[in-house]
Structures are given as structure tokens and as C-alpha cells.
């Protein structure tokens, strides 16, 4: 009977094995056999065991995937053999030259090749001793790199233990590439931008920056992947590169499936042509094909010159990078007011199209690259085919350039633009800005907002271009133009009527939907719901100060600032007034019991600060009160706004209680 501590040690070992197996199934074979939840449960159990009995921890434990302690400085690793670089070739002619040289040097032997994709990432070297991953390093200058073992351990597709019992394959070095998938890179950048963190220029920069971080816990959260493409096993009898790739796969490494053994250079050229065409079909960036002599004995014969092997070459795709002149930086206003700086370039032919404009993302991006009008800049087309300015050529900078300064006004409507605290972008918050009118109306009408059927993009386009609506509140006066509408192309009486009915119906949408529909930045559907619970009417929200907003559950400083900013704009307040006058619901359904106002009879006079007549009437009735048109002794309350006239006088004479809108709100909320 084993004692308790050996039993615990066995359990830990079993958990490690199981987790490693699941990692392999998930990350290498892409065929998981358990759910994420089950996996997490096993991981948690192992973590608990290891933290209770630290002696059980092993260097290859999967618990290290989450990242250990930060390190102060990377140790230096010497590469043996050195990590070589590849000579480049760019044309069929050059690759045939390479083949000719190889055949000349090999004399009678004919070479076969392996063609692989050339990943646009970061080279890494991985050492395994007795089957366990012990050290990982960057390429550095090829002879010496940084020890980034801690960071590499967090990469899920990197095996921490080899899947072999073969003693000649247990102490090896594997080389490969670390990289990111474009979509995961974009998502990471999006999150960074939202958190006001610097964004990365491309997946390669992001990978290289990440691997050099000192805190492996941060690395663990980044979407780094690897492919293995070279094996050094001094004790094993290895025959060919193609075999090595297969061996790497059985050892547990991710090996790219698109490699091909080619019997001659024609086959290599065919492979290259095919991938030049479909380079965008893989989810990561590739910039060419790597061509390697397959036989290791032939590789040895050929040897190296300087820092490149004679047995391999990079066969690059047509470049998607070019230099051109930055003539200006224009500002583009998006559909909801986001202002994006755009580079105006001397037209340059790049990856099949002529590029004369490219996004510069935001002011921070311009600052990071120190782009100046007049500069020679590098334009790149990534796999997403959207051209990007990726850098400036400082050596070609003319005299007298100055750093870019953000204009203060919206280039479309002239309103002041503003950059909220902690955000990357500037915004134009004029809801009537011509650049935004359509986008805002479409958002307003959208299914999750006011849900106005029939008010899609093309209809909005028509209404706006005919000047029938200038903002979303104008939709509620559209009925005045019924005849004009019915005469329009593709319209008729029936569709006009349907649209007007849908607009009318939308007035009854609950307050939280209206709040979302207003298009206040950061006020999404969820936030709108939360807000209406604490601020049950538009006036309550409008009158709330930033502090009050911020101290509300679920409302952070960003949201609070954005709301305050929205209401500070007179044009926005006017639009809300219009909505109110039209009878759009601008308060949450009663929180008090239905009968709060029962027995009370109200007369409305003057203009209320935020409720329109219809809205006020509806609220009174909803809470069980009655509305009368004239003052009599039956009337119990007067709801009085600005410029109240004779009704107020009369009510005073009769001693009827007079309420302001605020008084009224406190009655019903
Ligand atoms: S083999 C001597 N295979 O290209 C052999 N390299 O300039 C060199 N690379 O730093 C490595 N994909 O980071 C090889 N399938 C692939 C590759 C590849 C990308 C990178 C690698 C290296 C550079 C060579």
C-alpha cells in the first residue's frame, strides 16, 4: 500500500500527463476530446496540488502555461550551431540560378527539395533535455540570443515534454517560428485600443514585442503560436529534412501542413506560384516560400557561406511593401463621429493595386511613428489587403518638417472635436454632422434600438439626400411629407404608410431602448439598461452630474464622461426635446405601483424642460392620474413649465398645488 505522499505525487504526475495529452489533442491535432470546463477542472486540481506541495512542481508542468514570476533580465544563450539566415530570391530566374549552383556543387547527385511557407514571424530555438523542454531563445544576432524560456512555456502549442521514448530523440534542439494569426492579432489590438494601450503595427511586431516581455503572465494572455521547421538531434541517425518534419510532428510539435517535397526545381516553382496566388487564404502572414535541399547528406556537402546555407534559399512573394511620399494627413469622419487620420500618398503600385490613401488609425499612431507631412514613408499591405503606413524613412526626411498637430475642428461640419480622457480617438459629437447623419439614423432605427422596420440603409440614404430628415428626431415629422414620399421612385402609398406606421409604433419602445438608440458613445444595450434603473427618465439622466453618474453601478468614468458630453451639446438637447414632443417614451415604466397618482387631476401649462405634452400626459395616465384641459375646482395639481400663462394664474387663485417637472418626477419615481 503506497503511503499518502506517494499517492499524491502519482496523482500530480497523472494530471500532468493527462493535461499534456489534452493540449496535444487541442493545439496540435485540432481534435479535443474533453470540454474546456473539464480541462479547467484538471488544471485547477493540479494547481492546487502544486501550491500545497511545491516539491511536486516539475519544469514541464502544464501549470506553467499561465506564466510564472517576472524576470529582471534575460540571460544570453549561445546558439550551436548558429541560427543562419537565408539568402533571398525574387524571380523564377533567380531560383533557377540557385538550383544550378546546387547541382554543380553536388556533381552527379540530383537534389530533391522541400518547399515550405515562409512565416513572417520571429525565429525561436528550443532545447530539450531528456525529453523535457529546458531552454528557449530568440535568434538574436544568430550566434547569441536571449533566454526567453519562461515566455515560451506559456505557448500552448509548444510541447513541454516530447512524445517519444526513443533515447536518441530525447536530447534535441528544435527551431521554428513564433507568430500570430491575423484575426487574433486584430482582436488583441482592438482590446488594447479600448484600454488605451499602444497598439502593435503588425502581427510580427506584436510577436516579437511579446516574447521580449519580462512578465510571462502577460505573455500567457497573448495569442502566440509556433511552427517547428528544423530538428537537430546529435544522437539520432537522421536522413532527410522531409523525414525530420514528420518526426517533429510525431514528437508533438505543430508542423505546417502546406510543405511539399519537390522532385525538382520546376515543382518548387509551381508551389511558389500557387502560394503567391493564395497567400491570403492562410490566417497568418507569409512572405514567400523557403526552399531546402531535402537530403541531409547533401546539405552537409553544400555547407554554408558566411551566415547563409548554400542548401536553402528564400523565394519571396511579390513585395507588398513600398516607399512613397506622404503629401498630407486628412481627417475622415466615421458614421458615429470617430475621426480617423488618413495618409494622402503619392500613388504607388502595391500587391496588384494602386494605393494613394492609407489609414493612420489615430493620433497616437502618428506620434509613435513620428510621421510628418513631407516624409518618405513605408506602405505595407498585409494579408487583410488593407494598406498601412508602417514607418517613416528618417534618412530621407526633408528639412523643416514638423510633427503633426491635430486640428481642433471637424473637417465636415466645423464643430469642435474632442478626445475623451484615456481614449485613442477624437470624436465629432454633432449628431447633425453630415458625415454622421445617415449612420446615426440607421443605428436609431436598428432592430436592437427603435426597431423601425423598413428603415434600412437605402431608405435612410434617400430620406437624407432629399433633405426630408436631418436627424433621427425628424423621423417623427416624416408624416408631414407623406405625399412627397408616396411619389418617390420605388415608393408607393403602401410602403409609405408601412414606414410611417413603423415609425409611429417605435414611439412606444421602452426607455432603455431609446437611450441606446440615441447613439451616445459607450452606451450599448447593456449599459442603457443599467442606466435606466438608476436614472429612470431622460431628465434625471440629463441633470445628473458626472460624479453622480460615475458612482452608479456599472457606469465607469468613460461612460459618465460620454453621457455628460452628449447632453452638454445644445443640438443634442434640442433633438431630445423633439423626441419628447413627438411622444417618444423617455422614462422607464413606472417603478411605483400603478396607482401613485390615482385621484389626482392634472393640468399642464407652459413648456416643461424635458417632457413634451404627450409624454407628460402618458406618464400621468400611466400612474393612475387624470389630465384635464382647463383649470377647475376638480383639478388637484398644475404641472407648470416655462412661460406658463393664465392657467397658472387661475390655479394660484384657487389654491391648487403647483408642481415643477422635478416635483412631478419625484412623485412618480
Ligand atoms: S529555415 C537556415 N524555414 O526566415 C535555415 N526559416 O532568413 C533557416 N522563416 O530567421 C531557417 N519560415 O525566422 C526556415 N519555413 C521556414 C521559415 C523560416 C520563416 C524565417 C526564419 C529565419 C528567416 C530566414
Q: Does any domain span residue 465?
A: yes
**Ligand 1 in contact with 374 (CB < 6 A)?**
no
| One domain, residues 581 and 521 | yes
Q: CA 550, CA 316: separation in Å to the nearest integer? A: 54
Ligand 1 proximity of 140 Cβ (cutoff 6 Å): no
Tell whether ligand 1 has an atom less than 6 A from the beta carbon of residue 538.
Answer: no
Q: Residue 416 is part of a domain; what is its CATH number? A: 2.40.50.140
Answer whether 229 contacts ligand 1 (Cβ < 6 A). Answer: yes
Of 229, 258, 291, the residue with max ligand 1 atoms within 8 A of its CB, to mutate for a pocket test, comes to: 229
Give the Å distance between the CA of 118 and the centre of ligand 1.
6
Residue 501 lies inside a defined structural domain of this protein: yes
177 lines ligand 1 (CB under 6 A): yes
Residue 76 within any structural domain of the chain:
no
Determine contact, residues 603/628, Cβ cutoff 8 Å: yes
> How many whole angstroms from 182 Cα to the centroid of ligand 1?
19
What is the CATH classification number for the domain harbouring 156?
3.30.470.30
> Are the C-beta atoms of residues 167 and 188 closer than 8 Å to each other?
no
| Last-in-domain residue among 428, 453, 468 | 428
Give 65's DSSP letter.
G
Are 437 and 480 in the same domain?
yes
- Tell me how far the alpha carbon of residue 303 lies from the centroid of ligand 1, in angstroms: 16
Q: Which portions of the chain are predicted below pLDDT 50?
A: none
pLDDT of residue 320: 84
Beta bridge partners of 357: 344
For cell 524571380, what's the residue?
Answer: 91
pLDDT value for 30? 85
Domain assignment of residue 538, yes or no: yes
Predicted local confidence at residue 52, as pLDDT: 93
Q: What's the pLDDT score for residue 69?
A: 84
Does one domain contain both 411 and 487?
no
Total domains, the chain: 5
Q: Which three cell numbers stand for residue 572?
A: 443634442
Residue 635's pLDDT is: 92
Closest residue (by CA) to atom 13 of ligand 1?
A: 123
The dihedral built from the CA positions of residue 397, 398, 399 and 404, taken in this order, carries a sign that is negative
Q: Are residues 408 and 434 both part of a single domain?
A: no
Neighbours of 167 (CB within 10 A): 11
The answer, yes or no, to whether any atom of ligand 1 lies below 6 A from the CB of 85, is yes
Q: pLDDT digit string (tens) for 187-242?
A: 998 888 777 788 888 899 999 999 999 999 999 999 999 999 999 999 999 999 99
pLDDT given for residue 592 in this prediction = 58
Q: Judging by DSSP bridges, how do beta strands 657-659 and 637-640 pair with one another?
A: parallel
Report the candidate in 666, 664, 611 with the shortest Cα–Cα distance to residue 636.
Answer: 664
Per DSSP, 453 falls in state T
Among candidates 587, 650, 577, which has minimal Cα distance to 618?
587
Q: 626 - beta bridge partners?
A: 601
Element (DSSP H or E) covering residue 26: none
Contacting residues for 478 by C-beta, under 8 A, at least 6 apart: 463, 468, 469, 485, 499, 500, 503
Q: Write out pLDDT tens, residues 458-480.
A: 899 899 988 999 999 999 999 99
Nearest atom in ligand 1 to the alpha carbon of residue 121 is 13
How many angstroms separate the CA atoms of 475 and 436, rounded? Answer: 16
Prior bond of 251 cis (ω within 30°): no
**CATH number assigned to the domain comprising residue 47:** 1.10.287.610
Domain end marker among 359, 394, 428: 428
Domain around 333: 319-428
Residue 1 DSSP one-character state: -
Say whether both 139 and 278 belong to one domain: yes
Say what the pLDDT of residue 317 is.
92
Residue found under cell 506560384: 273
Tell me: the pLDDT tens digits for 107-143?
Answer: 999 999 999 999 999 999 999 999 999 999 999 999 9
Strand positions, DSSP E, 168-320: 172-180, 224-232, 260-262, 286-293, 304-305, 308-309, 312-316
User: Is 193 domain-assigned?
Assistant: yes
484 and 511: one domain?
yes
Q: Is 389 in the pocket of ligand 1 (CB under 6 A)?
A: no
Task: Give 86 Cα–ligand 1 centroid separation in angstroms.
Answer: 7
CB 185 within 8 A of CB 223: yes
Burial class (CB in 10 A: 0-12, 13-18, 19+), 169: buried
For residue 59, what are the CA distances in angstroms to 128, 159, 292?
A: 11, 12, 34
Ligand 1 near 241 CB (within 6 A) = no
Q: Are 308 and 162 in a shared domain?
A: yes
Atom of ligand 1 nearest to the CA of 120: 19
Distance (angstroms) between ligand 1 centre and the Cα of 85 equals 7
Q: Report the first-to-last Cα separation within the chain, whole angstroms.
A: 71
CB atoms within 10 A of CB 417: 23
Strand ranges, E, within 64-103: 76-78, 88-89
Would the CB of 312 count as within 6 Å of ligand 1? yes
* Ligand 1 pocket, residue 84 CB under 6 Å: yes
Measured distance CA(563)–CA(258) in Å, rounded:
52
At 608, which CATH number?
3.40.50.10190
| Ligand 1 center from residue 24 Cα (angstroms) | 24
CA of 216 to the centre of ligand 1 (A): 25
Looking from the CA of residue 116, the nearest atom of ligand 1 is 15
Q: Identify which of 82, 83, 86, 125 to mutate to test ligand 1's pocket (most ligand atoms within 8 A of the CB).
A: 86
Question: Can 118 be counted among the known catalytic residues?
Answer: yes
Same domain, residue pair 465 and 530: yes
Cβ of residue 116 lying under 6 Å from some atom of ligand 1: yes
Q: What share of the chain is helix, strand, coil (3-state, %, to 5)?
A: 40, 20, 40
CB 87 within 8 A of CB 308: yes
Does residue 240 contact residue 229 with C-beta atoms inside 8 Å?
Answer: no
Residue among 85, 115, 126, 275 to mutate when testing ligand 1 (max atoms within 8 A of CB): 85
**Catalytic residue among 72, 118, 381, 409, which?**
118
For residue 271, tell me if it sits in a domain: yes
* Cα 55 versus chain centre, distance: 41
293 & 168 share domain: yes
564 in any annotated domain: yes
Chain centre to alpha carbon of residue 30: 24
> Does 151 share its domain with 161?
yes
One domain for residues 493 and 554: yes
Say yes or no: CB of residue 82 within 6 Å of ligand 1: no
Among 586, 613, 629, identify where a domain stops. Answer: 586
CA angle, corner 540, sides to 538 and 545, nearest 5? Answer: 115
The number of the ligand 1 atom at minimal distance from the alpha carbon of 177 is 13
Contact of 201 with 247, CB cutoff 8 Å? no
Does residue 73 lie in a domain region?
Answer: no
* Pair 446, 417 in one domain: no
Question: What is the residue with the minimal CA distance to atom 21 of ligand 1?
Answer: 123
Q: What is the CATH number of the domain that holds 525?
A: 1.10.150.20
Three-state DSSP class for residue 205: helix
Amino acid at each position: 500500500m503506497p503511503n499518502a505522499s506517494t499517492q499524491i505525487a502519482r496523482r500530480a504526475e497523472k494530471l500532468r500527463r493527462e493535461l499534456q495529452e489534452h493540449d496535444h489533442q487541442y493545439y496540435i491535432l485540432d481534435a479535443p476530446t474533453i470540454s474546456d470546463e473539464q480541462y479547467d477542472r484538471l488544471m485547477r486540481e493540479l494547481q492546487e496540488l502544486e501550491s500545497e506541495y511545491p516539491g511536486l512542481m516539475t519544469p514541464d508542468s502544464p501549470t506553467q502555461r499561465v506564466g510564472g514570476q517576472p524576470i529582471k533580465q534575460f540571460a544570453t544563450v549561445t546558439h550551436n550551431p548558429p541560427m543562419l539566415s537565408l539568402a533571398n530570391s525574387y524571380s523564377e530566374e533567380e531560383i533557377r540560378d540557385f538550383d544550378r549552383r546546387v547541382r554543380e556543387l553536388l556533381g552527379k547527385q540530383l537534389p530533391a527539395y522541400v518547399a515550405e511557407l515562409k512565416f513572417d514571424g520571429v525565429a525561436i530555438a528550443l532545447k530539450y533535455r531528456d525529453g523535457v523542454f529546458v531552454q528557449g531563445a530568440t535568434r538574436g544576432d544568430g550566434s547569441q540570443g536571449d533566454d526567453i524560456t519562461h515566455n515560451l512555456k506559456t505557448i500552448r502549442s509548444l510541447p513541454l515534454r516530447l512524445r517519444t521514448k526513443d533515447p536518441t530523440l530525447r536530447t534535441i534542439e528544435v527551431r521554428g517560428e513564433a507568430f500570430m494569426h491575423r484575426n487574433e492579432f486584430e482582436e488583441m489590438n482592438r482590446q488594447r485600443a479600448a484600454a488605451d494601450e499602444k497598439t502593435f503595427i503588425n502581427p510580427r511586431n506584436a510577436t516579437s514585442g511579446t516574447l521580449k516581455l519580462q512578465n510571462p503572465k502577460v505573455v500567457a494572455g497573448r495569442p502566440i503560436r509556433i511552427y517547428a521547421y528544423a530538428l537537430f538531434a546529435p544522437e539520432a541517425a537522421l536522413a532527410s529534412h522531409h523525414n525530420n518534419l514528420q518526426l517533429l510532428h510525431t514528437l508533438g510539435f505543430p508542423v505546417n501542413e502546406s510543405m511539399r517535397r519537390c522532385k525538382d526545381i520546376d515543382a518548387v516553382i509551381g508551389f511558389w506560384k500557387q502560394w503567391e496566388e493564395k497567400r491570403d487564404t492562410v490566417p497568418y502572414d507569409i512572405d514567400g516560400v523557403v526552399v531546402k535541399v531535402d537530403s541531409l547528406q547533401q546539405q552537409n556537402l553544400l555547407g554554408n557561406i558566411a551566415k547563409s546555407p548554400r542548401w536553402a534559399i528564400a523565394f519571396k512573394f511579390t513585395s507588398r511593401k513600398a516607399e512613397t511620399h506622404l503629401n498630407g494627413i486628412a481627417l475622415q469622419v466615421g458614421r458615429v463621429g470617430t475621426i480617423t487620420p488618413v495618409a494622402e500618398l503619392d500613388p504607388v503600385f502595391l500587391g496588384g493595386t494602386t494605393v494613394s490613401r492609407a489609414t493612420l488609425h489615430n493620433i497616437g499612431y502618428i506620434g509613435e511613428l513620428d510621421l510628418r507631412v513631407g516624409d518618405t514613408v513605408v506602405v505595407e499591405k498585409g494579408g487583410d489587403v488593407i494598406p498601412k503606413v508602417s514607418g517613416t524613412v528618417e534618412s530621407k526626411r526633408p528639412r523643416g518638417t514638423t510633427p503633426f498637430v491635430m486640428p481642433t475642428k471637424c473637417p465636415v461640419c466645423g464643430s469642435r472635436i474632442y478626445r475623451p480622457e484615456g481614449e485613442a480617438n477624437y470624436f465629432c459629437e454633432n449628431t447633425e454632422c453630415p458625415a454622421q447623419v445617415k449612420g446615426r439614423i440607421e443605428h436609431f432605427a436598428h432592430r436592437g434600438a427603435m426597431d423601425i422596420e423598413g428603415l434600412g440603409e437605402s431608405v435612410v440614404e434617400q430620406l437624407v439626400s432629399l433633405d426630408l430628415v436631418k436627424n433621427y428626431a425628424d423621423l417623427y415629422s416624416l408624416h408631414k411629407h407623406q405625399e412627397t414620399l408616396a411619389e418617390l421612385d420605388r415608393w408607393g402609398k403602401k410602403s409609405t404608410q408601412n414606414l410611417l406606421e413603423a415609425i409611429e409604433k417605435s414611439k412606444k419602445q421602452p426607455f432603455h431602448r431609446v437611450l441606446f438608440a440615441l447613439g451616445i458613445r459607450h452606451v450599448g444595450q447593456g449599459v442603457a439598461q443599467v442606466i435606466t434603473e438608476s436614472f429612470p427618465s431622460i431628465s434625471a439622466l440629463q441633470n445628473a452630474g458626472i460624479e453622480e453618474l460615475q458612482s452608479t453601478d456599472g457606469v465607469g468614468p468613460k461612460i459618465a464622461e460620454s453621457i455628460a458630453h452628449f447632453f452638454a451639446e445644445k443640438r443634442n438637447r434640442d433633438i431630445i426635446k423633439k423626441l419628447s414632443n413627438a411622444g417618444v417614451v423617455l422614462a422607464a415604466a413606472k417603478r411605483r405601483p400603478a396607482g401613485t397618482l390615482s385621484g389626482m387631476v392634472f393640468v399642464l401649462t407652459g413648456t416643461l424642460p424635458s417632457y413634451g405634452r404627450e409624454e407628460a400626459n402618458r406618464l400621468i395616465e400611466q400612474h393612475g392620474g387624470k389630465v384635464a384641459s382647463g383649470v377647475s375646482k376638480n383639478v388637484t395639481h398644475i404641472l407648470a413649465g416655462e412661460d406658463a400663462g393664465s392657467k397658472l394664474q387661475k390655479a394660484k387663485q384657487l389654491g391648487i398645488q403647483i408642481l415643477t417637472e422635478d416635483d412631478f418626477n419625484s412623485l412618480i419615481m
